[in-house]
Amino acid sequence: MKKKLSAHDLQKKKENKEIVVWVTAYDYPTAQCAEKAGMDMLLVGDSLGMCVYGYEGTMPVTMDQCIVHSDAVRRGAPNTFIIGDMPFLSYQISQEHAVFNAGRFFKEAKVDAIKLEGGRRVYSQIKAIVDAGMLVMGHIGLTPQSSGQLGGFIAQGRTAETAIDLLEDAKAVQRAGAFALLVEAVPPEVCGKIRDTLAIPVYSIGAGWMADGQLMICADLLGLFQAFTPKFVKRYAKMAEVMTRAFEEYIQETKGRKFPAEEHTYNMLPGELEKFIGNS
């Protein structure tokens, strides 16, 4: 059986320069496949709002939705380090609110850590959750919950001034006690500088190869999410095409009376068919 990684193992991997690979998952079967494939970690991202519910962004996602999906992922991947993603307005209001909602992930979905977006401006929330005994991952760069303020889903830290700003945010996340940091959609050199500056693991999604590990959105990687494809996505499968073809074939065979065939039906018990026909 696969051994579940701990935050300590992740720290060791950074020190040994071993790359960590993780992906988002929102449901039981995907979590099962990811664990079977040997994924190091899983994120139940609030990207589920777009990938599962068809929302335009992540803002409408609720705590209850995140808990339900995290719980399903935990059942599918009992031996994988799972991170629950705190949705918009679950941690911004106050430290108490943030601690309460973070705690729900651990109590109701048995996650190993939670992730929240922001640098210096969420310092006190990260510290409060860590002080309550929970593992927190930070998330800076392109932070989808504040994409309106950032000018949309666009790369961050492309000027020296904004890159220095990101470095300050990264340091604040570490100072607040986070065990790791995710950096999204920034140039590789900026992510590399953050990785080399921080003692904690620094992971990339769309922030290039100078990181302690890589995250991808499962629906992007599998070719399931079709609304748009960010530059940093590599598609490893064309699942939307595979599914559409299977549905087309099912429709054709059923309308053509080829399905269900003999092998897909149940027979009556021996002698029962004659009695049934005789009595009806």
The residue range among 42-50, 98-106, 119-127, 220-228 that interacts with ligand KIV, by the rule CB under 6 A, is 42-50
Q: Is 47 in the site for ligand KIV (CB under 6 A)?
A: yes
Name the residue nearer to ligand KIV (CB basis): 35 or 184: 184
What are the start-end ranges of the H helices in the chain?
Answer: 7-15, 28-37, 48-51, 63-76, 95-109, 123-131, 147-150, 160-175, 188-197, 218-221, 239-255, 272-279
On whether the CB atoms of residues 114 and 137 are closer than 8 A, the answer is: yes
Q: Is 184 in the site for ligand KIV (CB under 6 A)?
A: yes
Q: Which residues contact 160 (CB under 8 A, 6 or more apart)?
A: none
Q: How far is CA 255 from CA 41, 242, 244, 250, 264, in A?
A: 43, 20, 17, 8, 16
Among 35, 80, 84, 85, binds ligand KIV (CB under 6 A): 85
Name the residue nearer to ligand KIV (CB basis): 85 or 261: 85
Distance CA 82, CA 98 (A): 19
Closest CA to 193 of 179, 205, 209, 210: 210
Q: Is 220 in the site for ligand KIV (CB under 6 A)?
A: no
The residue range among 40-48, 189-197, 232-240, 260-268 that interacts with ligand KIV, by the rule CB under 6 A, is 40-48
Place of tokens 């002080």: 131
262 is catalytic: no
The SS3 of residue 162 is helix
Among 24, 70, 80, 101, binds ligand KIV (CB under 6 A): 24
Among 23, 26, 41, 45, binds ligand KIV (CB under 6 A): 45
Q: Is 205 in the site for ligand KIV (CB under 6 A)?
A: yes
The residue range among 43-51, 220-228, 236-244, 251-259 that interacts with ligand KIV, by the rule CB under 6 A, is 43-51
Instruction: Tell me the residue number closest to ligand KIV, measured at CB.
Output: 45
Report which residue type is found at 71.
D
What are the start-end ranges of the H helices in 92-146?
Answer: 95-109, 123-131
How many residues bind to ligand KIV according to rule CB under 6 A?
A: 12
Among 46, 112, 169, 212, binds ligand KIV (CB under 6 A): 46
DSSP 118: B
Distance CA 54, CA 80 (A): 27
Q: Which of the residues 184, 241, 263, 274 is marked catalytic? A: 184
Name the residue nearer to ligand KIV (CB basis): 43 or 167: 43
Q: How far is the CB of 47 from ligand KIV (least distance, A)?
A: 3
Supply the residues annotated as catalytic: 184
Site residues (CB under 6 A) for ligand KIV?
24, 43, 45-47, 85, 144, 182, 184, 205, 215, 217
